[in-house]
Amino acid sequence: MPEPVPAPGEVVVDVRRAGVCGTDVEFYTGHMAYLHDGNARYPVRIGHEWMGVVTELGPGADASWLGRRVTGDTMLGCGHCRLCRSGRQHVCADREEVGIRRGRAGALAERISVPATSLHALPDTVDDVLGALVEPAGNALRAAQAALSLGSGRQAERMLVVGPGTIGLLAALFVRAAGAEVELVGVSQTSVDFARSLGFTTWLGWDAVPETPFDAVIDAATDASTATRAVDLMQPGGRVVFIGIASTPSTIDTRTLLLKDVTATGILSASPGLDAAIAEFASGTVDARPLVAATVSLDHVEAVLAGEHPSGGPGPKVHVDPRR
């Protein structure tokens, strides 16, 4: 690949760390939806969870970014539509997505070029590991905040998180830090055991989940059948938050939502939660570093995408250090 050249308003970042996400695996296997609806095509350079140091400025880019440790927003809106003007560029119909959508090259490389306006500075209290976790943490924090707020000033006291993967665990950490009781359910003994090692009550399989209804449920799984189960477990007047994406359509009986007065919320993108996630990490309220099982070189990325879990810790996340 040629060295990136920053366009006007862009910067080049030397990548120090990048995370491998389930979306990256979907590109590797060919299952990514954008490959089938025209929003992405091969070749594509993947990687959207990253941090690094700004080393080069394009014309018009703010010189104060040079030399700073940063992470960046994945969602790059057109900047002109009504959604972008209202700060909702993450749902702009014409958006690029770093390493995902419309050919915007990603961070699984030594260097990446991104708009300076997408950058978020990292304080010294957020180390490189946490810096590369900001993007998934922003998603998870938005899900946690949505689930905690039941409206009219009420906060959820008891919550269930479905799917103890990276997003589910991050959401559970944020919920616990907010003072609510949180339990998890998963289908893998390995993921359940790891969640328990973090101090969470975690159930293996739906049959093990207690009958007591929950104030809120965060569905961070990729199984289409979990949406219905999540709604069934809801306390009347509660909230269910969907952040996991299934490969096939999920079905929910809207009569159940109506009769239980349940609010359903969907979460797309970390964009509105990036600054808050950085602040949570900086304050030490949540330490997500145990989620990173291993850090590998770019030479080992293909094996990770193919399903190999490198030797290291039991956490669900693998990081890449392009300098290795």
Residues 246-256: tens digit of each pLDDT: 888 998 999 99
1 domain residue, yes or no: no
Mean per-residue pLDDT for 153-169? 95
281 domain residue, yes or no: no
Same domain, 243 and 292: no
283 domain residue, yes or no: no
5 domain residue, yes or no: no
3 domain residue, yes or no: no
273 domain residue, yes or no: no
Residue 153 has pLDDT above 90, yes or no: no
22 domain residue, yes or no: yes
Same domain, 36 and 114: yes
Same domain, 142 and 242: yes
pLDDT category at 18 given cuts 50, 70, 90 is: very high
Same domain, 146 and 96: no
Residue 1 has pLDDT above 90, yes or no: no
Q: Where would I find the beta strands (DSSP E) of 170-323?
A: 181-186, 201-204, 214-219, 234-242, 263-266, 292-296, 317-320
Same domain, 151 and 252: yes
Residue 312 has pLDDT above 90, yes or no: no
How do residues 94-144 score in pLDDT, each as one tens digit? Answer: 999 999 999 999 999 999 999 999 999 999 999 999 999 999 999 999 999
Residue 254 belongs to domain spanning: 138-266
From the CA atom positions of the chain, what is the Rg in Å? 20
| Contacts by 186-191, CB closer than 8 A, 24 or more apart | 186/162, 187/223, 190/314, 191/164, 191/165, 191/316
CATH of the domain at 235: 3.40.50.720
Return the structure tokens found at 291.
């989620």
Mean per-residue pLDDT for 211-227? 93
Same domain, 158 and 38: no
Same domain, 94 and 170: no
Question: Residue ranges of the alpha helices (H) in 156-262?
Answer: 166-177, 189-197, 226-232, 254-259
Same domain, 100 and 193: no
- In the DSSP assignment, the letter for residue 151 is E
Residue 183 has pLDDT above 90, yes or no: yes
| Contact residues for 96 (Cβ-Cβ < 8 A; gap 6+) | 76, 102, 103, 104
Q: What are phi and psi of 308, to 5 degrees?
A: -80, 130
Are residues 186 and 202 in contact, defined by beta-carbon separation less than 8 angstroms? yes
Mean per-residue pLDDT for 196-224? 95
Q: What is the pTM of this model?
A: 0.96
4 domain residue, yes or no: no
> How far is 137 from 191, CA to CA, in rounded Å?
18
CATH of the domain at 77: 3.90.180.10
> How far is 64 from 130, CA to CA, in rounded Å?
23
Element (H, E) at 111: strand 111-115
Are residues 244 and 220 in contact, defined by beta-carbon separation less than 8 angstroms? yes
**Which residue type, as a one-letter code, is found at position 161?**
V
How many residues make up the chain in this entry? 324
How do residues 65-103 score in pLDDT, each as one tens digit? Answer: 999 999 999 999 999 999 999 999 999 999 999 999 999
Residue with tokens 């790891």: 194
Same domain, 113 and 174: no
Same domain, 95 and 57: yes
Same domain, 160 and 209: yes
Same domain, 24 and 79: yes
Total structural domains in the chain? 2
Positive or negative CA dihedral for 67, 52, 80, 277? negative
Q: What are phi and psi of 298, to 5 degrees?
A: -60, -30
Percent of the chain exceeding pLDDT 90 equals 93
